[in-house]
Amino acid sequence: QSALTQPASVSGSPGQSITITCSGTSSDVGGYDFVSWFQQHPDRAPKLVIYDVTKRPSGVSNRFSGSKSGNTASLTISGLQAEDEADYYCCSFAGNSVIFGGGTKLTVL
């Protein structure tokens, strides 16, 4: 049950697009189309922004999109806004468990 691999940090300027990757194995990310992404602001509970690889919950901006290729999933945020600055986590179904990524800190310059 090793954590999924995410970059520690990414940054971008307002209006730009950024992509956060989430690397796993064929036993988790690559084996199922059950990858979710969460946004977490300091001292707040996580918020779901993408589920089932590409689906967006009601109320989440269409600036957030997800994809997957092989054992790597990706979250893309387009048209960066100051409020997007937060920590982002991926997670994947892994059979009899769920695995989270180590998290990525997004800085909006």
In the complex, the residues that contact another protein under the rule CB under 8 A are: 1, 3, 32, 34-36, 38, 40, 45-48, 51-52, 57, 87, 89, 91-93, 96-103
Residue whose CB is less far from another protein, 15 or 52: 52
Residue whose CB is less far from another protein, 30 or 102: 102
Cα angle 36-52-37, degrees, rounded to a multiple of 5? 15
Q: At closest approach, how far in Å is the CB of 35 from another protein? A: 7
